[in-house]
Chains A and B, each alone.
Chain A
Amino acid sequence: MAQSWSGELLHIHIAPAASYEMEELAEARLIAGKGIEGDRYFLGTGTYSPKPDVRDVTLIETEVLEQLAAGEPKMPGIKLDLAPGDHRRNLTTRGVPLNHLVGQRFRIGETVLRGARLNFPCKYIEELLGMPRLFDGLLNRSGLNCAIEVGGIIRPGDRIVPMES
């Protein structure tokens, strides 16, 4: 695939265990095949850790958060202010077409990720944040679960670019 887009990493968030508030990092270490050092899915302490899946690292587009904050699309018109630390995905991106990256490889800084499956929203986060309708608001735009193929250090501001898959 020719390089057709280029994005940026805006925020990195981790939580030490299920239900813990997310913490923002200025730098994170990605470990191939495992996750982000210190995150609940790296440590096996996440809500869904007992269930087999790929969730080394999860990503969401800041564009989705902006649309939600603006109440777009007008139908169904769900308007919610979801701060980058509240959505419980690890990485917030700009300019990255996450829904098109299942099975695709891409770089963030020195690391390489592979899109594994589209993320699906959960009622758990709706209850945790006390935000009814968040589940509906994130349907079909809840981000991407990725495997880490090449680990390394990432920082906000890193470029995100596609690779030949």
Chain B
Amino acid sequence: MASPRLIMKMKVASLRSEAGDVSVVEFRHPRRPQLPPFEAGSHVDIHMPGGKVRQYSLMGDPADLSRYLIGVKREEAGRGGSAWLHANLKVGDELAVSAPRNHFRLHNEAQAHLLLGGGIGITPMIAMARALKAQGKAFVLHFFARSRMMAPMLADLETELPADHLVLHFDDDPATVVDLAELLKEQKDGTHLYYCGPPGFMAWARASSTHWKPDTVHFEAFQPEEDPNFVPQAFTIQLRSTGQELNVPADTSALTMLRAAGVLLFSSCENGVCGSCECGFVTGEPIHRDAVLSPEAKTRRFISCVSRAKGRIVLDL
């Protein structure tokens, strides 16, 4: 079972508008001068009124634990979390913020790091670039945006990063446009790839890196890729500890049935991105529909809020 995380009521210490309809929110704790530590690539859960929980990457300096910084792009067509934050958040407000979790860590064994941030997907890359720069590691950050005017946090990045560490790509500036297939054509020995961005960017990066060694490619998605042809089917879960069998109807999640059976599983996003409800599976054929598990983890782990199975699966619960 994934670790539970402490949820803290934190104060909005400042709000700053950035290009591309992005708001940078600074959280501080009313009583704790030192927050739970985090590494580059980590995210926190933000709990909003009405039970909405959303994940945001931490973009601040992991060495500064007096505050957490997130960048929130207003997504009119989203599920309502970012629109709520943009419409309602004021300095001094209190919001429930979880301790950080990291599914997107830097791999120290890499000889070089290639970071790709598309639009608001730049946020985890900022923390990564800062960490890599502080450690004196070899890296290049490629930032993809519609235009210079729409690129959030650009001024900070241009100030902090030397020109050979930051490459900008703007759709409206043909001289800067690059095809990812070309950029990722060759994998230099020891280079790890990290990418984050909106769904189209994720699909582009994934398709352009299929020839890379799987354990050198890392990504973080805002939402799992939707397969419009997927038709959920009923399946059966067996609990390894008790042998109990649970039937999961086609229109119900595994997590819902596990909870109904009294199994204590934590959850947060219930959208396949945060990993809170992760558990192991022993035998069976899972249909992974999450955006958390690495290819290796998919051979033995299961995200019960969105993933399903063919026939019967035995979960390590």
Contacts and interface: CB of A to CB of B under 8 A. Distances in A.
Most buried by B among A18, A19, A51: A19
Interface string A116-129: 00000000100111
A140 interface: no
B7 A19 contact: yes
DSSP class of B's interface residues: helix, strand, loop or mixed? loop
A21 B262 contact: no
B264 A21 contact: no
A50 interface: yes
B24 to A, nearest CB: 24
A47 B266 CA distance: 9
Given A20-B96, A47-B264, A51-B262, A128 B3 contact: yes
A128 B8 contact: no
Contacts of B6: 19-21, 128-129
A17 B96 CA distance: 11
B136 to A, nearest CB: 29
Interface residues of B, number: 13
A21 B7 contact: yes
Contacts of A20: 6-9, 96
Contacts of B5: 19, 128
Interface in B1-42: 3-9, 36
B8 A21 contact: yes
A130 interface: yes
A131 to B, nearest CB: 11
Given A19-B266, A50-B262, 5 more contacts: A21-B6, A21-B7, A47-B264, A128-B3, A128-B4
Interface of B: 3-9, 36, 96, 98, 262, 264, 266
